[in-house]
Structure 1
Amino acid sequence: MASPPITELTARAREIFRLVVEDYLASGQPVGSKALAQRGAIGLSPASIRSVLNDLEQMGLLAAPHTSAGRMPTESGLRLFVDGMMQVAQPTAQERAVIEAQLASPNAHLGPIEQALEMTSAILSDLSGAAGMVMVPRRELRVAQLNIVPLETGRALVVLVGEDGHVENRLLDLAPGIGQAALQQASNYMNARLAGRTLREAVAAVQEEIRSGSTALDEVSRDLVERGLVTWSEDAARRRVLIVRGQANLLDETALSDIERVRSLIDDLENKQTIADLLDSAREAESTRIFIGAENRLFALSGSAVIAAPYRDREGRVVGVLGVIGPTRLNYARVVPMVDFTARSLERTLGKRIG
């Protein structure tokens, strides 16, 4: 159900609606008319407040989970609040210092890029109280070295070392009769041509040499080179890796009363490819994107929310997305600018990396 334009609400209704949403996001509990009246800021009796609450419920902005239990915002209500009423609170000086200090540490600048991204995910989780997520850049490594190591008969291990220190292995099936000499020739050939290139660039160069007949490889070694490079290149081009930290934060006190929703959310997180698809949709966003509940089919059952922002490399190209996932009662005003600040801090870290 789409939320009504905020202009359809009277000033009184807007103020009561804002207070209900803010109190709910702070406590996780429905908010009653008596509690609102006791705050004194509205200057209305509980009966008058109940009348406004009823109107907001009829508009689909609030819901009463139990009879006489107070009101809580619906997903449509949360969307209206986030888009039209929320006053964001920039990260505190302490929060900014924590984020920048972590991402300025040597561990974030050296070694595989995944190390810096794991730190980023953990930072988001710790500061937001939700689960932190970072999608590894969909990129091809620049290769430092690639070797083919024989295993048992009929198989070999292809070991790839990136310029940033990243190491990956692949198993390669061998045709009968392929010996150590062919493996060594293929390894030497690839290392002579791969250094400093992406796998895609290497495939193009090798295929051109083979087509032109300028390679001195024999047929067996040529086949090893082509199959090995193409397999790596295709895998790197389509792979998206999602790093998730802080799932335990989802099991707070309020979760115990809604354990089925939490179980559904944990199941969502286990399906990392689906979550990665959702984050990928935020790649083209100019700033932070917010997904609330059933607005996305993935969260129709779990009633979860995602706050996500793209991050860029030193050339300004979007290379990944980071964010947090949690219940729809996330503190949006605090977490949204925190996610954005973390994305910008990660960009500065990536810009200082060598390679």
Structure 2
Amino acid sequence: MAPPVTELTDRARDIFRAVVDGYVENGMPVGSKTIAIASGLNLSPASIRGVMQELEELGLLASPHTSAGRIPTERGLRLFVDGMMQALEPSAEERAAIEARAGHRGPVEEALAATTAALSGLSACAGLVMVPKRELALRSIGFVALSPDQAMAVLVSEDGSVENRVIQLPAGMTPSALVEAGNYMTATLSGLTLAEARARVGRQMAEGEAALDGAARALVEAGLAVWSEDGARRPVLIVRGQGRLIDAAAAADLDRVRDLLDDLEGKQEIAQLLDSASAGDATRIFIGAENKLFALSGSSVIARPFRGPGGRVVGVVGVIGPTRLNYARVVPMVDFTAATLARLMG
């Protein structure tokens, strides 16, 4: 465990901050000569090296390989984030960019993806957003013939989103049966979710209330089956900007980047991590091995829940990147994005 920041002398805090700032800026070890020239501390390189050695003994700094410079350890970064960081609020331009993407017309998922892409671009990290599986209410379902044995099922939800799926037609299907099946589904299922629709159709068919011929009945069942199966697989996690994780500094550590990209492929594990951040209102910061998922890749996650109607948590938004994140800049940016999404979902 890192010592409380109050136990460090003013000189040690100043030198530690200089190392963190330099490392965050360029990803390289910071040497005593660099601090002596740039920090304005009026200390000799020898004096600075002595303090850096003390900070290393406390587990706050490390000397990678044979470099004369130091980098902050994960323990040191935790101390910095919890006790020394001075947040930098997003600029007016950054806020406008996030709000513009959140105002994207169309399905909510597209607005979430666009907002996450904006956060990724501004933070130079991969952007993440997780929302619960959404039960779409139906407006209409229709069928368009493509060939004698295939048709396109067209689903329109009440939020105006339209999705298409190609399905195999049951044997003996006629154009009139396509129209009959579409009319029945729209008239009977409008306003229901897919789960409710399947239950109602099943009940009506079992009780003989569905006035459909055999071909139309088979098409209704096939159409509901394909949409229900697709709905069960709806992604709850959107990731944007993975390519931003490969920068000039990361090129020297491709194994770490490869591990991180592998982590991002395991969406279920990422979703579980974000779900753990949904409790409470505060922003959660996971640094490196503090979470076992990123023990190999040495990555950090900053995440914050956002709320919808009634104050209920409806999702979590955040970023993932190397531990040398500019926490002071990115944390407030994630906070602002969460507030923007809360207004979107309200």
Q: Is the 8 A contact 1:159 1:170 kept in 2?
A: yes
Percent of pairs identical after alignment?
Answer: 59
Provide Cα deviations, 1:53-106, integer angstroms capped at 9, x if missing partner. 2233233322111324211112222223223332222222332233334444xx
Deviation at 1:272, TM superposition (A): 4.6
- Tell me the residue number matched to 1:95: 94
| Alignment correspondent of 1:111 | 106
Question: CA–CA distance in 1 between the matches of 2:292 and 2:262?
Answer: 14
Distance 2:43 2:146 in 1: 79
CA distance, structure 1, for counterparts of residue 276 and residue 317 of structure 2:
12
Structure 1 window deviating more from structure 2 (9-18 vs 187-196): it is 9-18
Q: Does 1:196 align with 2:195?
A: no
Are the aligned partners of 2:172 and 2:215 in contact in 1 as well (CA < 8 Å)?
A: no
Other structure's SS at 1:279 match: helix
Sort the Cα spacing of 1:283 and 1:227 in 2 relative to 1 into closer, same or farther, 3 A.
farther
What aligned pairs does 1:169-184 form with structure 2 within 5 A after superposition?
169-184=164-179
Residue type of the partner of 2:65?
Answer: H
**Cα distance, 1:281–1:204 mapped onto 2, change above 3 Å:** farther
Structure 2 unaligned regions, length at least 5: none
CA contact (8 A) 1:89 1:333 kept: yes
Q: Per-residue deviation at 1:43?
A: 5.7
Following the alignment from structure 1 to structure 2, what is the Cα–Cα distance between the partners of residues 48 and 5? 22
Q: Aligned residue for 2:50?
A: 51
| TM-score normalised by structure 1 residue count | 0.82
Q: TM-score, normalised by structure 2?
A: 0.84
2:61/2:71 contact within 8 Å kept: yes
State whether structure 2 residue 165 is matched by structure 1 residue 167.
Answer: no
What CA distance in whole angstroms lies between the structure 2 residues aligned with 1:310 and 1:193? 37
Distance 1:58 1:212 in 2: 77
Q: For structure 1, which segment, 95-104 or 254-263, has the greater mean C-alpha deviation from structure 2 after superposition?
A: 95-104
Residue 335 of structure 2 is aligned to residue 343 of structure 1: no
Give 5+ residue unaligned stretches, structure 1: none
Aligned length: 345
Instruction: Establish whether residue 65 from structure 1 lines up as the match of residue 64 from structure 2.
Output: yes
Is the partner of 2:82 in helix, strand or coil?
A: helix
Hey, what's the Cα distance between the residues in 2 that align with 1:315 and 1:230?
33
Give the Å deviation of 1:198.
Answer: 2.1
Q: What SS does structure 2 have at the residue aligned with 1:253?
A: coil
Paired amino acid for 2:124: G
1:158-182 Cα offsets, whole Å, 9 max, x none, are: 2212233322233444554455454
Which sits farther off after the overlay, 286-295 or 314-323? Answer: 314-323
CA RMSD, 1 decimal: 3.1
**More deviation, 251-260/146-155:** 146-155
**Does the alignment pair 1:326 with 2:291?**
no
Is 1:311 matched with 2:336? Answer: no
Find the counterpart in structure 2 of residue 74 from structure 1. Answer: 73
Whether the 8 Å contact between 2:237 and 2:267 is mirrored in structure 1 is yes
Out of 316-325 and 209-218, give the one that drifted further.
209-218
